[in-house]
A and B are shown apart, each in its own frame.
Chain A
Amino acid sequence: MLELRNVNASIGIIPILRDLTFRIGAAETVALIGRNGAGKTTLLRTIMGFTTASGEILFEGQPINALHPPKRPGLGIGYAPEDRRLFAAFTIEENILLPAQAARLGKAETTRRLDRAYTVLPELRDLAQRPGGTVSGGQGKMVALARALMLGTKLIMLDEPFQGLAPALAQRYAEALRTLRDTDRSITLIITESNPSLLRGFADRTLVIERGEVAEGSLEPEGTKA
Chain B
Amino acid sequence: MNFSIFLLALFDGVAYAALVFIVALGLTLIFGVMRILNVAHGSLYAIGAYTTVSLVGYFLALGFAPAFAFPLMIVSAILVGIVIGAPLEYFLLRRIYQKSEVLQLLVTFAVFMILEDVQRLVWGTQPYFNSSALQVLGNVTVFGVTYTAYQLILLPLIAVVLLLGMRFFLRHTIIGKLITATTEDREAAQSIGIDADRVFLFTFVIGAVLAGLGGALASPTTSILPGMGADMIVLSFAVVATAGLGQIEGAALTALMIGLGRSFAVYLYPEISVLVPYLIMVLVLLVRPEGLFGSPAARKI
Seen from chain A, the residues whose Cβ lies within 8 Å of a Cβ on chain B are: 48-50, 68-74, 79, 81, 85, 87-90, 94, 98-99, 101-103, 147-148, 150-151
Contacts and interface: CB of A to CB of B under 8 A. Distances in A.
A90 B177 contact: yes
Given A102-B194, A147-B192, A151-B193, A88 B300 contact: yes
Interface in B161-206: 171, 174, 177-178, 180-181, 184-185, 187-197
Nearest to A80: B191
A98 B194 contact: yes
Q: Which of B174, B192, B193 has the most CB of A within 10 A?
A: B192
Given A87-B180, A87-B181, A94-B177, A50 B171 contact: no
Contact of A70 (B171, B190, B300): B190
Given A85-B185, A89-B171, A89-B300, A151 B192 contact: yes
B300 A74 contact: no
A102 B185 contact: no
Contacts of A87: 180-181, 184-185, 188
B85 to A, nearest CB: 22
B194 A70 contact: yes
Interface residues of B, number: 20
Contacts of B177: 90, 94, 98, 101
Q: Which 9 A-B pairs have the closest CB atoms?
A: A73-B193, A85-B188, A99-B192, A70-B195, A102-B193, A102-B194, A70-B190, A101-B174, A69-B190
A71 B180 CA distance: 19
A203 to B, nearest CB: 23
A31 to B, nearest CB: 21
Contacts of B178: 98, 101-102
A79 B300 contact: no
Contact of A99 (B185, B193, B197): B193
A88 B171 CA distance: 12
A83 to B, nearest CB: 9
A50 B191 contact: yes
Nearest to A132: B184
A102 B192 contact: yes
A150 B188 CA distance: 15
Interface string B85-109: 0000000000000000000000000
Contacts of A49: 190
B2 to A, nearest CB: 48
Nearest to B178: A102
A89 B180 contact: yes
Contacts of B300: 88-89
A146 to B, nearest CB: 11
Contacts of A98: 177-178, 181, 192, 194
Contacts of B191: 48, 50, 69, 73, 79, 81, 85
